[in-house]
Each structure stands twice: as C-alpha cells, then as structure tokens.
Amino acid sequence: MSTIKDVAKLAQVSIGTVSNVINGKTINEDLIQRVEQAMEQLSYRPDANARNLKITKSNMIGIILPNVVQQEYAVFLEKAESLLKSNGYEIFLKLGKNNKMIEKRAIESCYNQGVAGILFYSNIKKKREFFEKNSEAPMVVIGRTVIPDLEVDQIVIDYREAFEKALRKLKEQGMQKVGIIMEKCLLEGGGLLEIYYKYYSNQSMVKTVDSSRERGFQAFFELYYDFPELEAVIAGSDLTAQGIKKAQKMLELSDVQNIVIKESNWIEDEEEYAAQLSVPFEELAKNAAQRLITAIENPAIHEVLTEIVYATYDQIDSNRDGISKSKAKMRFAMLDGVSARSLQMLAPVYERESGAAVTLELFKYDELETLLYEHAERKDSSYDGFMLDISWLDGMVETGYVKNLDEFYQKNKPYFEGFVKNTLSSYAMYVESLYGIPFMSGFQLLFYQKDLFEDQSLKIRFKRMYGEELEPPKTWAKFNSVAEFFTKKYNPHSPVEYGVSLNQGVNVYTSINYLNHLWAYGGEVIDETGRVVINSNQAIAALRNLKKSFQYTSGEEKYSWVDIADEFKKGNSAMVILYNSDAGDINNYTKSKVAGNVGYSLIPGGTPVLGGWSLSLNAYGRQRAEAGKFLLWACSNANGIPMCLLGGSTLRKEYYERAGQDSLEPWKNHVLKSFEQSRSRRFPEISDDSKHKNKIYTKLIPREIQRVINEEISEQEAVANMEASIKKLVSDSGCGI
C-alpha cells in the first residue's frame, strides 16, 4: 500500500507539499498536478478520518459481543464494522458469551491492544465496579438494564412494552397455558418476569435457559411433558426458538403458537412465528458506532448519555388469510410497471385460495389513460377494476366510471386506518368520498453512488474547483455543480460518464422534473385561486436551471423512471431522482452494479412532486363485489412486504414502522419524510371536459421544455407558450391540443 512518502518521492516534492495539496492549502497548479498525478499512478487515497486522529492514537475499536451465531449479533457486527471502517477504523472482536469473567477478560484484552474505544454488548446485569476505568478509551455499553451512575454511554433495549402487548393479545385470544423459555438475565434483569405474573401466575411454566438451540429443545420437552395442554410459548432468542421448533416437529405439534424475541425478518418468520418482539439491530449498531466515534474524535463536545430503545411487537399476517371462495373471472387494467408486475406474481396465491380467475392487463401511461376515458364514454364493463394515477382521480370520477366506495369504507374502517397517514385523502378521495384503495406509493428521493461522495481525492478536487464540500446537494444550484463535476465531458477526472440520469421528451416525467425545480424557486403553474401564473421570473429561472442539468446527462431521450433507473444501475451516472416505487432494483446485486453502494437523501429544493396510484372499481363492472374483495387483499398488510420484495411498493404504514427490510430498501425511513414534503399538481377548473386537464403535464409543459433543450426557443418564450396553451385549454376544453 502506497504512503504519503511514496507520493512525495514520485512527485519530487516534500511531504508537507503533498499534505498541502491534499488539504487544499495551495493554489500552485504545477504542484497540484504533479502531486495528483503521483497519487493516481500509485493509487494512493488519503483517509480523512485517519488524518483527523492523533498519530499516537490507535485506529482500532474493540467490539465485545455475546456471540456471533445469533442473527441479531451478526447484523450488529456487520453494520458496526461497516460504519467504523468508513470512518477509518478497524475492529478487534472478542466474544463475551454472557459470562462475567469472560467479559471482564475481553475488556482487559481490548485495553491491552490500546484500542481507541469499545462497543460492549452484554445481556448480563452488571455492577458499576465492573466498568472501573483503567484506560482513556471511551466505551458504549449496549444491554437490557440501565447501570446507575456509570460514566460511559449506554444504549438500553427495553422489551417490556412489546412483551406485555404479546401477553395481552394471548389473553384476548383466550389462552390460559402460556410458557416462557428465555435467559434469566432477560427475565429478571429486563423486568419481564414481573409482567408475566400480571397475566399468568404459574411459575412452573417459566423455564430459564442459556441462549442455545439445545437448551430450547430440552426446555420445551420438559414444559410440554408437564403441561400437554400448552397453547403458546415465548422464546428469548432465535436460537432458543429454533430448538423449540425442532421439539414441536418431533412431537408433531402444529397448534402451539411461537412468539420470539429476535430481529424481525419476514422471509424467515412468515408462518414460523405468530409474532416477534423486535429491535432494528442495524439502527442500534449505527447509533452505537456514531456515538463512540463522537466520543473519540470530539471529546470536548461529547456528553455521556443513556438512550432507551423500545422493542416493537411485530405480528405476521399470512396473505392467504381472509380469502373467501369464489368462481368469479375478473379483469383489471394496470400501469405497466414494477408494482403491477409484482401483483401479477402474487395473484396466483389469491386464485389458488379463492378459486377465482384474475387477469391483470398492462398498459403504458398514455395508453392506460386513453383506454379508461374511452371505456368511461361507452360505460364499458370489460374491466372490473383498474389502476388510477392520483392526477386522474378528479377527471375519472366526474365521468361516472369510478365506483364510489363510501359504503366499502364504512364496513372496513380498521382496514383503511392501516394506511400511511393522509394517503387516503391524497390518493383516493374526491369531495370527501372514497373512490379507490391506495396501492402504489410515489415519494421522490435522490439516489447517488455513495463511494463517489466519500472518495477523499474527489472531495479535495471538488473543493478546489467549486469552493464547497462535495456532498449530496440540497439546492438545485449545488445539484448542477455536482452533476458537472461527475460528467467526463466537463471533468476528465470523473470516474463516471454522467453526473445525472434525467427523463426527457414530451411526457409527464419531464414535467415532474420541472415542477421539482419550479416549486423550489417559488413559482407555480396555477395559483391557489385557479389562475394560470406560470409565465414568471421564477419559472424562467427554474427552466434555465433544469436546462443546465441536461448538459450533464447522456443526452438520450428517456421516457420513464425505469429508463433512468437502468442507466443508474449500470453505474453510468453519479445521481438520479426516482420515486421509491421505481427504486427497488437499484440495490439488487443481481441486477445492479451499484448495489450496496447506494446513498440516498431528500431531493434538492425540498419540494418533491407527489406521485402514486390507487386501485379502483369500475362502476359498470360485472364482478364489482368480488373485484372489491381482490382489491382489499391486494392492498392489505399481509401483502405489503411481499409486494416490496418483488420490486413493488406499498402504502401500508405497518411496512414503514416495522423493523427489517433495511438491506432491501435502506432508504425506507426517508420515504415518509419525502411524503411530508411532497406536493400535488394543481389543475384548473374545466366544467365541460375534465379529461383534458392532465394534458397540462403530459403534453403542454414538456413540449415547451423539450423545445428549450433542443435550442429551438428561449426559456422566456417557453413559459409564455406554456401559459398561453394552458389558458387556451381552460377556455375551449382542449381544442387545438
């Protein structure tokens, strides 16, 4: 591995000169070029974090875990190591095995190694003297009980609320024989035993074990031998639960409910456990590692804190539950996209369980819109239901083609309360009545190749070129600076061809890109009173900025989110803005070169355009009742995770609140933040023919944008043309379009 001395020798300069170039402290172009050429030739990459550490201080972090066999500890280790490594640290791993003496020796080993800090995960209830300081190395302790008066950071996992919820639900189901098999430190130290006795008083049904498959197997046999009427059992860990399940298999027991304390994982847990008491261990590791790094690198501002992390009760619903028998043949018109294709793959489950036949026909955006309006005019009954873009809702409802679902809503209120807050009104309601079920989410995020923004050589070069830090942009001006920097045409040193992937062409996607800019600049297409106001200085400035962005693209016309996602997946561009419903495959290792290297943030300007689709019923359909049952199933909690695993999306709030799926969609927690910022497109009042309103965004605006990109007209002419065309649309209901 090359060193700074090697760079200095090859460049024929001093080490101090190399340091000045690396830290942007010189403007001598000759020296800069010599040093950078030497760095490239030697593949030398300066580590900013290592530079921030004192030379005398170790970059080693001690991590002490009970074991690495249990899934949650393995997840914790993987996430902590990844974050520490990205900050210039290596790890020194020791296993404590939930044994006080072994843990004490592990701490001593860490101190003997001269570690910079320690992440200590232990489930044993400790006394304060166990942590007597004999080193300056800070420590973060992760456990299940608060240690009073301890001068180190603590992260305490509290299972009590989730545990009580599990017991309460078992009681509500009428279960009287519920056993407990878990570690003593969790039962007593975590306060669970006291809660158990509030609901069940038989002490003989409590088995204390260490966390292993063998002890779980043994304890269940003993428990079942004494209580053959056993109805449910709560296990203290995944390993214990595996032993319990093996015992149940040997005893041919299928009616004893299993609840387990473990990180929730739908792939493993569906039909294996009735519920999990779960903590997001990836987030736990992230918080612990970041707190330790702060304590090491910024001791003057670091405060010792105790953080409580509350476990959640995650219940698994089967997507076969609640399906009634039917011989109906149903037909649905759908947008050709990942969500519809995901539902196509899931539909055989419904068909097998119900006996119904379900056909989903896929259409492009414009084709589907035209089809639905044509069928509405004829009062056609060919389709029993269809996907409905949120921007079509008003116009389609006014045709009478969309069935009112108010009665449906009243009969299924708990079901509809399970959607993300405000999505019913945003996606499926018109004049306070329900006309659809939210199906496909549409929340925009900025995605980028993370390593490009972390590369120290690139950060230094960007700072020198633009006078700013290289980071995910928060404004459209900064967005263009970053996009230019990562476009080889303008920066031959860029490791990727293009700064950004963008839609262009006469389509709704181009309009959405423009609205992101327009709203951030304070402009509007139509104001709150219904006036067309797009011919403004703000609209001109926004269009000028957007035009500049197109200089940093491949220049190819791309007509959908799928097209630009594909370009980003190939690693050809540094950034892309996508709806979350179209982003699933960018982190799929079998389909994406950037998988595992995807960064994400809210979009620049903070004004994303709300997108998304609902599923609606044809008011003239022959199978309205059966089609309604299928829509309820398609948009249910039970299908939320399967839909997302297959590449689609969901608007069920349980999916976003549930721990897990972070490796599939690491950006899941950002999705609802985007929704909070999102705005809907405004439409003018057209009394005669509402179906033409959407042409504002599918034809009028993007047509003028494309003419600007083609250098046919100026930005001023474009927004003037937009305003004139929209006013004409309003006045004559679409003549001349």
Instruction: State phi, psi for 107 to the nearest 5 degrees.
Output: -65, -45
pLDDT band at residue 48 using 50, 70 and 90 as cut-offs: very low
CATH 1.10.260.40 maps onto the chain at: 4-51
93 membership: H or E segment, kind and range: strand 90-95
pLDDT band at residue 132 using 50, 70 and 90 as cut-offs: low
pLDDT band at residue 656 using 50, 70 and 90 as cut-offs: confident
pLDDT band at residue 690 using 50, 70 and 90 as cut-offs: low
Q: What is the pLDDT of residue 512?
A: 96
Q: Tokens representing 174? A: 């009428």
pLDDT band at residue 186 using 50, 70 and 90 as cut-offs: confident
Looking at the predicted structure, is the pLDDT value of residue 244 above 60?
Answer: yes
Q: What is the pLDDT of residue 42?
A: 79
- Cβ–Cβ contacts within 10 Å for residue 411, how many? 11
Q: What is the pLDDT averaged over residues 550-557?
A: 92
DSSP state of 597: -
pTM for this prediction: 0.77
CATH topology of domain 159-278: Rossmann fold (3.40.50)
Put the strands of the sheet holding 498-501 in their side by side order: 498-501, 573-579, 444-449, 598-601
Residues 446-484: b if buried by 16+ CB within 10 A, e if exposed: bbbbbebbebbbbbbbbeeeeeeebebbeebebbbbbbb
- Distance from chain centroid for Cα 135: 39
Instruction: For tokens 């569906």, name the residue.
Output: 270
Looking at the predicted structure, is the pLDDT value of residue 701 above 80?
Answer: yes
Q: What is the pLDDT averaged over residues 234-238?
A: 93
Asked if 353 and 583 count as a contact pair (C-beta separation under 8 A), the reply is no
Q: How far is it, in rounded angstroms, from Cα 89 to Cα 119?
A: 13
User: What are the pLDDT digits (tens) for 223-233?
Assistant: 999 999 999 99
CA nearest 701: which of 546, 576, 480?
546
Looking at the predicted structure, is the pLDDT value of residue 536 above 50?
Answer: yes
pLDDT band at residue 737 using 50, 70 and 90 as cut-offs: very low
Helix, strand, coil percentages in the chain from 3-state DSSP, rounded to 5: 45, 15, 35
pLDDT band at residue 438 using 50, 70 and 90 as cut-offs: very high
User: What are the pLDDT digits (tens) for 333-381?
Assistant: 999 988 999 999 999 999 999 999 999 999 999 999 999 999 999 999 9
Q: What is the pLDDT averaged over residues 517-539?
A: 95
User: What are the pLDDT digits (tens) for 477-525?
Assistant: 999 999 999 999 999 999 999 999 999 899 999 999 999 999 999 999 9
Q: What is the CA radius of gyration of the chain?
A: 30
CA nearest 212: which of 66, 63, 65, 64?
66
User: What are the pLDDT digits (tens) for 461-485?
Assistant: 899 899 999 999 999 999 999 999 9
Q: Tokens representing 394? A: 């008003």
The share of the chain scoring above pLDDT 70, in percent, equals: 93
Query: Which CATH architecture group holds 4-51?
Result: Orthogonal Bundle (1.10)
CATH 3.40.50.2300 maps onto the chain at: 60-158+283-311, 159-278
Looking at the predicted structure, is the pLDDT value of residue 39 above 90?
Answer: no
User: What are the pLDDT digits (tens) for 248-274?
Assistant: 999 999 899 999 998 877 766 767 888
For 329-443+611-676, which CATH class? Answer: alpha beta
Q: What is the pLDDT averaged over residues 151-163?
A: 93
Q: What is the pLDDT of residue 403?
A: 97
Looking at the predicted structure, is the pLDDT value of residue 49 above 60?
Answer: no
**496-505, 646-655, 657-666 — most confident range:** 496-505
Taking CA atoms, 548 is separated from 444, 524, 604, in Å, by 21, 20, 15
Point out the least confidently predicted range of 479-493, 530-544, 636-650: 636-650
Instruction: For tokens 């095995």, name the residue.
Output: 97
Q: What is the pLDDT averaged over residues 445-469?
A: 92
Q: What is the pLDDT of residue 686?
A: 64
pLDDT band at residue 133 using 50, 70 and 90 as cut-offs: low
Across all residues in the chain, what is the average pLDDT?
Answer: 89
The CATH homologous superfamily of the domain defined by 60-158+283-311: Response regulator (3.40.50.2300)
Looking at the predicted structure, is the pLDDT value of residue 131 above 80?
Answer: no
Q: Which residues contact 617 (CB under 8 A, 6 or more apart)?
A: 384, 385, 402, 403, 405, 624, 627, 628, 631
Looking at the predicted structure, is the pLDDT value of residue 631 above 90?
Answer: yes
Point out the least confidently predicted range of 499-508, 631-640, 727-736: 727-736
Q: Tokens representing 18? A: 């190399």
> 312-315 and 275-278 as β-strands: parallel, antiparallel, unpaired?
antiparallel
Q: How far is it, in rounded angstroms, from Cα 276 to Cα 235?
A: 9
User: Positive or negative, the Cα torsion across 337, 338, 339, 342?
Assistant: positive
Q: How far is it, in rounded angstroms, from Cα 67 to Cα 72?
A: 10
More confident residue, 577 or 460: 577
Q: What is the pLDDT averaged over residues 315-324?
A: 78
- Distance from chain centroid for Cα 679: 20
Q: Tokens representing 87? A: 């900050």
CA nearest 222: which of 204, 199, 200?
204
Looking at the predicted structure, is the pLDDT value of residue 663 above 70?
Answer: no
Q: What is the pLDDT of residue 235?
A: 96
Q: What is the pLDDT of residue 57?
A: 60
Asked if 244 and 180 count as a contact pair (C-beta separation under 8 A), the reply is no
- Cβ–Cβ contacts within 10 Å for residue 228, how many? 10
pLDDT band at residue 126 using 50, 70 and 90 as cut-offs: low
User: Greatest CA separation found in the chain?
Assistant: 86
Q: What is the pLDDT of residue 559?
A: 80
Q: What is the pLDDT of residue 89?
A: 93
HEC letters along 365-380: HHHHHHHHHHHHHHCC
User: What are the pLDDT digits (tens) for 50-68?
Assistant: 444 433 468 999 999 999 8
Asked if 333 and 372 count as a contact pair (C-beta separation under 8 A), the reply is yes
